[in-house]
Amino acid sequence: MLSWSLAFLVLAILAAVLGFGGIAGAAAGIAKILFFIFLVLLIVSAIFGALRGRPPI
């Protein structure tokens, strides 16, 4: 799933370079949303892993 976030980020950068403002904005927005979702999931999994007594990898 992280690859989707990176793909939208690359698409946004490429579209911004080529001058497609609407496409770049949409792709950047999707990449930002996915980034924050994955960040929250990372924090939640780290907390649950710590509560189980397992050290982080």
Question: Quick check: is 57 in a domain?
Answer: no
Residue 9 to residue 25: CA distance in whole angstroms: 10
The pTM assigned to this predicted structure is: 0.59
Which DSSP string corresponds to 9-52? HHHHHHHHHHT-HHHHHHHHHHHHHHHHHHHHHHHHHHHHHHHH
- Give the count of domains, the chain: 1
pLDDT band, very low/low/confident/very high, at 2 (cuts 50, 70, 90): low
CA-nearest of 34, 3, 26, 1 to 14 is 26
| Whole-number pLDDT of residue 22 | 78
- pLDDT tens, position by position, 9-56: 788 788 778 777 777 778 778 888 888 888 888 888 888 888 887 666
pLDDT band, very low/low/confident/very high, at 1 (cuts 50, 70, 90): low
Question: Quick check: is 32 in a domain?
Answer: yes
Query: 24 lies in which domain range?
Result: 2-52
Question: Quick check: is 15 in a domain?
Answer: yes
| Whole-number pLDDT of residue 57 | 64
